Structure 1
């Protein structure tokens, strides 16, 4: 896994939603891990008007960038891609939660249902 320098982080954070989604998929499949933020209560959540969402990031640096303000006690945690496929997809579906992919600092990101997210990950894995 490569470390991102600040110049790369700044450039990627300015990507639009589609570019962030594509970057996320490539990074997650290449590194075989997804990053979330956790606190003493578990995984942190974002809310849209319609959905409660688990935000996910492609790299530790982007997840940690969210550990500010009300989330300053949160820690970035990686989940292996295998564990995501085997446990998280079904768990999120059971809890009726969605996934928000690589949200930017304005809390904007592509929202997918867990089965759609899993499908996109699997599709990206097949490209490798």
Structure 2
């Protein structure tokens, strides 16, 4: 492990990063995405698996780190209530999954919007 806390978290396994994501999001009550100058969110389409997903992060720092090298992308926060009310139904309608917290090795946890919402609500109830 490195001495940089950001890199230490990025080196965790996909499942460990998912758990970290849940706890951080519940503490801060926001989810981070990347948007371009036209305020359009980053969507990643995998040609191999035919899966499209919205990558999300637990903080601005992790989103910004992912966007390093791209002048066009900047972090944008979504409040948890907005995510539940607007984003989950919209992503579900569009058939877009969520890629939770891409790691240093490029791996990430892909889940359906409703499933992430359930996990967050389950964690919230015990918070």
TM-score, length of structure 1 as denominator length: 0.89
- Report the counterpart of residue 30 of structure 1 in structure 2: 27
Question: How many corresponding residue pairs?
Answer: 122
For residues 29 and 17 of structure 2, the distance between their equivalents in structure 1, rounded to whole angstroms, comes to 17
- Report the counterpart of residue 103 of structure 1 in structure 2: 102
For residues 53 and 68 of structure 1, the distance between their equivalents in structure 2, rounded to whole angstroms, comes to 20
For residues 68 and 9 of structure 1, the distance between their equivalents in structure 2, rounded to whole angstroms, comes to 14
Change (3 A) 1:43 1:87: same
**Structure 2: 5+ residue stretches without partners:** none
For residues 62 and 40 of structure 2, the distance between their equivalents in structure 1, rounded to whole angstroms, comes to 19
For residues 81 and 39 of structure 2, the distance between their equivalents in structure 1, rounded to whole angstroms, comes to 24
2:41 pairs with one of 15, 40, 43:
43
Cα RMSD, aligned residues only: 1.4
Superposition pairs of residues 84-95 of structure 1, within 5 angstroms: 84-95=83-94
**Structure 1: 5+ residue stretches without partners:** 1-5
TM-score, length of structure 2 as denominator length: 0.90
